[in-house]
Amino acid sequence: QVQLVESGGGVVQPGRSLRLSCAASGFTFSSYGMHWVRQAPGKGLEWVAVIWYDGSNKYYADSVKGRFTISRDNSKNTLYLQMNSLRAEDTAVYYCAREALLGYCSGGSCYLDYWGQGTLVTVSS
Amino acid sequence: DIQMTQSPSSLSASVGDRVTITCRASQGISNSLAWYQQKPGKAPKLLLYAASRLESGVPSRFSGSGSGTDYTLTISSLQPEDFATYYCQQYYSTPPYTFGQGTKLEIK
């Protein structure tokens, strides 16, 4: 069965860095686009970043562009999110999610069919 | 960027009720819309995609419809486990993969 397990969250001071990981299993990781989505406490879902199946393309939300970097290691079935220059407003639960591959997609984009359980990042002095 | 607006933001209903949640896109999204359910402390779960197609394993009391800019999620007969927050998301014009702000469905 598909499993996505995030790790790396914690408490970090403003301006510092943190790297999140998402270990994938139960599917051919190298075939799927992968996303990070976050949710601030008591708030809604905010899309953060996407990386194509082969790492050739990456896109970011304006709120994190230039500070966060999404990457993947297909040999390790692992997705990463490097977060630099962290701000208080980056405090959130960060979810990794798999983008559906086939079916009712729109051009090169599709819905998110599996999600991890999330990892909490708290930016505070 | 396409903006997604859900209504209502919260809703009180009783077990057995029929409820409808609306999602409006700022421009046409050609049925490229997904609905997710999220329970407190849990990850979102995919319910429907392509506006009306039910994800495997999701009860048939959930249905979706719409076209162009306006879409709805309907629960035909609310069950206790359906009380949660629901989000729509467009994947027609990306990035960004925009979510609606959510609709919290509470027990009356």
Rounded Cα distance between B43 and A95, Å, is 8
Contact between A80 and A20 (Cβ < 8 Å): yes
For position A45, what pLDDT does the model report?
98
Alpha-carbon distance A28 to nearest alpha carbon in chain B (angstroms): 20
For position A112, what pLDDT does the model report?
97
Q: From start to end of B1-108, where are the E strands? A: 4-7, 10-13, 19-25, 33-38, 45-49, 53-54, 62-67, 70-75, 85-90, 103-107
B62-67, strands of its sheet edge to edge? B4-7, B19-25, B70-75, B62-67
- Chain segment B57-87, per-residue pLDDT in tens: 999 999 999 999 999 999 999 999 999 999 9
Chain A residues in contact with B71 by the CB 8 A cut-off are none
CB within 8 Å: B99 and A46: yes
pLDDT band at B108 (very low <50, low <70, confident <90, very high): confident
For position A104, what pLDDT does the model report?
80
Contacts of A107 (CB under 8 A, 6+ apart): none
For position A109, what pLDDT does the model report?
87
Rounded Cα distance between A72 and A49, Å, is 12
How does pLDDT run along chain A (125 residues), one tens digit per residue? Answer: 999 999 999 999 999 999 999 999 999 999 999 999 999 999 999 999 999 999 999 999 999 999 999 999 999 999 999 999 999 999 999 999 999 987 788 777 899 999 999 999 999 99
Nearest CA in chain B to A94: B43
Alpha-carbon distance A48 to nearest alpha carbon in chain B (angstroms): 8
Rounded Cα distance between B56 and B6, Å, is 24
Among the listed residues B108, B106, B107, B102, the one whose alpha carbon sits nearest the alpha carbon of residue B9: B102
CB within 8 Å: B97 and A104: no
For position A102, what pLDDT does the model report?
77
Chain B residues in contact with A59 by the CB 8 A cut-off are 94-96
- Chain segment B17-33, per-residue pLDDT in tens: 999 999 999 999 999 99
CB within 8 Å: A104 and B53: yes
Contacts of A87 (CB under 8 A, 6+ apart): A14, A123
Chain A residues in contact with B88 by the CB 8 A cut-off are none
Among the listed residues B101, B62, B99, B98, the one whose alpha carbon sits nearest the alpha carbon of residue B82: B62
DSSP string, A18-62: EEEEEEEESS-GGGS-EEEEEE-TT--EEEEEEE-TTSS-EEE-T
Alpha-carbon distance A81 to nearest alpha carbon in chain B (angstroms): 17
For position B43, what pLDDT does the model report?
98
Considering only residues B107 and A93, tell me which one the structure prediction assigns the higher pLDDT.
A93
For position A43, what pLDDT does the model report?
97
Average pLDDT over residues B83-107: 95
Q: Which amino acid is at A56?
A: S
Chain B residues in contact with A46 by the CB 8 A cut-off are 99
